[in-house]
Amino acid sequence: KEIDRDTTGNVSFVEFAPEAALELARFKRWAEKKFGNMQALFQALDEDRSGAITFNEFRDTCARNGLPAELQDTITTLFLLLDYDGAGGRGAISAEEMSFLDVWKPPAYFWETPDHDAKDRFRQALLAKHNHNPLMAWRRALDRDASMRVSFEEFVIQHKTLVKKGVVEAPPGGITSLYVAFDEDRRGWITLRDWDPEAFETLRNFVTFVKQRYGNMNRFLKAAESMQPDEGERLGAGGGVPLGMFKGALKPGGFLPSKCFILFEALQAPVKKRGGHSMAYLFPSDISFLSHWDPDREVKEEATWSNMMSKKMALQIPAEGRRGAYRRLASLV
């Protein structure tokens, strides 16, 4: 789970060794632009026609063939990655080892230019569909498994479903360009903070308050059951809490009524009825996923990844806001 950062159930090379994967992806992109394929690259680097490329040969011939300075700084890492059966990593790269790069496909979102206009249209369409509640749009249209992360693969699937239903339009530049408008750090997943920073802060404040005052989500709802309901409300069967009681339990935290409604509306499970009751109640199962969410850790992980990408991929991330963060990723090599 620690390595499976995009929560897909599979561990990719990018997740297992992100810095190494980024170095290799940049090298492959340079090689394809310069030589077309890895066989041609090998022939160019194997100047003595020995059928193997030593470290010194790799370093010197790459430099003579115009390897960008950013990649020359990591030449040792690149050699070790390619010479995967070399003794101590300093043997020689064979043609077979080099051909690995023809097979390995770095994620498409590494190099895609973000389409911010498509992002704006996509956001507005989902907000219109979900009562202009960004947290509810996140929960019901994107983060369907309540993992608090949407991988690139999940995003593609959800987007295709939304297009098929007529909720959103297919972006002219393709799904990947839309995706990287949210994931400008090229992590391979997006979070609620990427989707809507204000909604993220609202939910983080809720989770922090509940843990500090009540200990956990179940105790919060138990406490809410003893609060004064609004006129016409009553406690639901099976532990369902109406909006008035929900607001009462949040009152010590200074939550505005508008924020309470956003939370209450968004956290309810996306079903029309449950046990004969309309969706006027919040149940323990609706918020149990928040017991496993650590927003502070999520922010730190995003910062770490952003810092790595800004160094490895020449991204210039502004201190405030992410729009316009893309600078020269596509033209790096």
Per-residue pLDDT of the chain (333 residues; tens, 9 = 90+): 444 444 555 546 676 777 788 888 889 999 999 999 999 999 999 999 999 999 999 999 999 999 988 888 889 989 988 987 654 444 899 999 999 898 888 888 888 899 999 999 999 999 999 999 999 999 999 999 999 999 999 999 999 999 999 999 999 999 999 999 999 888 889 999 999 999 999 999 999 999 999 999 999 999 999 998 888 778 877 778 999 999 999 999 999 999 999 999 999 875 544 444 444 899 999 999 999 999 999 999 888 878 777 766 653 333 333 444 444 344 333
Copy the structure tokens of residue 210.
């509940």
pLDDT score at 222: 94
pTM: 0.79
